[in-house]
Amino acid sequence: VYSQPVFAFIEKCLSSKYPNQGFIHKFYTIKIPCLPPYRTNLFRICFRTAYVASSTGIAMLFPYFNEVLGVLGALNFWPLTIYFPVQMYFVQKKVRRWSQNWILLQSFSLVCLFISLFSLVGSIEGLISEKLS
């Protein structure tokens, strides 16, 4: 999920840098019975496969990779998944302060913040205990 913006950024940069490259721009349609046609290109398949393979290789070489991912996930979960979407909802729907909907969503956001903070503490503890053992 967190890699989707990376994929989009790389694909956009390379498609604008190499506008005549068929490897990047040529799409193929795959038809599977009972499903809508799926469009993909070779660059997307190759780049994403290489990205996953290199991430897996780094994870195997870096001894504390899972603990570091836990810390990063705990830091990113609440603001990206809870706080900003809730605030955008408030602005788009013009939710009044102290209304029932506002209180419910703010309470939900606060509970998720505490869960994220607890998971951050747990991830840091796991990182420290892994380092010391």
* Domain ranges within the chain, ordered by starting residue: 1-61, 63-133
pLDDT tens, position by position, 74-118: 899 999 899 999 999 999 999 999 999 999 999 999 999 999 999
What are the structure tokens assigned to 41, written together?
Answer: 């290109």
pTM of the predicted structure, to 2 decimals:
0.60
Residue 37 sits at φ, ψ, to 5 deg, of: -60, 145
Q: How confident is the model at residue 60 (pLDDT cuts 50, 70, 90)?
A: confident
User: Which is it for strands 38-40 and 28-30: parallel, antiparallel or unpaired?
Assistant: antiparallel
On whether the CB atoms of residues 63 and 69 are closer than 8 A, the answer is: no
- For Cα atoms 91, 94, 98, give the angle at the middle one, nearest 5 degrees: 100
